[in-house]
Amino acid sequence: MPNTIEQLPEGGMGIKIISQIADDIRYTRTLDNKNCLFISKVYEQEPVKILPKCHQKNLFARLLCFGRRLTLILGNYLRKKRIKSRYRNLKLTVNSDLNAVEQILDWYGQLQHLPIPQQVWQLGQIALVEAFTNVVRHAHKGLSKSTPVELEITVSNHRLDMKIWDYGQPFDLDAKLKEL
């Protein structure tokens, strides 16, 4: 990942990077005259852990083993229970300013403790920054820095969904993807 904001790619590379990361990418104009870029990444959840066998003769060692087994049982139960529920839904509104990238990265960091594979988490981070910088550099070019950019992330079972809303002129995502 680039070390500075100035090193982020320009000239259509952002959309190319996002399209290579995303399993689903869509772009629509909403009824309230905003544009919404939808990015989705599907992943395999961490597997259920196998319980260790306890063969120790020492009482203390058996208690420790029992504690580990209990923790794994509870973790596996919670993992199965969350399959039907949404893990997290985050929303953030920032100004149309490249300096907001740090705030966006801090906000996105809240997802790191969820059972998202590390590589998927990192790819989501890259896609989010690329989408935001595209909004600032292209969609909001010529607009005030106070123009809002709305971000939403939903993490549910096996999916990381991101929505980025802007107030710029719409563009043809399909044509851009064919160009690349």
This prediction's pTM: 0.72
Tell me if 135 sits within 8 A of 166, measured CB to CB. yes
| pLDDT for the residue numbered 75 | 72
pLDDT in tens, the chain (180 residues): 444 445 555 555 788 889 999 999 999 999 999 999 999 999 886 555 566 677 777 888 878 888 888 887 777 676 666 554 557 899 999 999 999 999 999 999 999 888 888 899 999 999 999 999 999 999 999 999 999 999 999 998 789 999 999 999 988 888 877 876
The two three-digit tokens of residue 75, written as one number = 């973790």
Distance CA 136, CA 140 (A): 5
- pLDDT tens, residue by residue, 34-51: 999 999 999 886 555 566
Write down the domain spans for the chain: 10-42+87-179
